Amino acid sequence: GEQEVVSRSLERISPRVLPVELRQIVFRYGEAPVLRGVDLELRAGEIVALLGPNGAGKTTVISLLLGLEQPER
């Protein structure tokens, strides 16, 4: 089933995946603050979900993690 597919997919993830840390991240679109003082720690092999209302900054956090955006701080 679906869980078996997810398990097989996770087996293919390289064990050399590095952990990720965001500390006190600040990001603005123009003058509008989107993220203020955000901390996030992801360890290799973890499965995470970002939840929150529209406009909470979920997509911005992912863009920062992927290097598509650069934080102000």
Confidence of residue 35 (pLDDT cuts 50, 70, 90): very high
Confidence of residue 19 (pLDDT cuts 50, 70, 90): confident
Confidence of residue 20 (pLDDT cuts 50, 70, 90): confident
* Nearest Cα residue to 20 out of 49, 46, 51, 41: 41
State the burial class of residue 35 (Cβ atoms within 10 Å of its Cβ: 0-12, 13-18, 19+).
Answer: buried
**Quick count: other Cβ atoms within 10 Å of Cβ 34?**
19
Is residue 37's pLDDT more than 90? yes
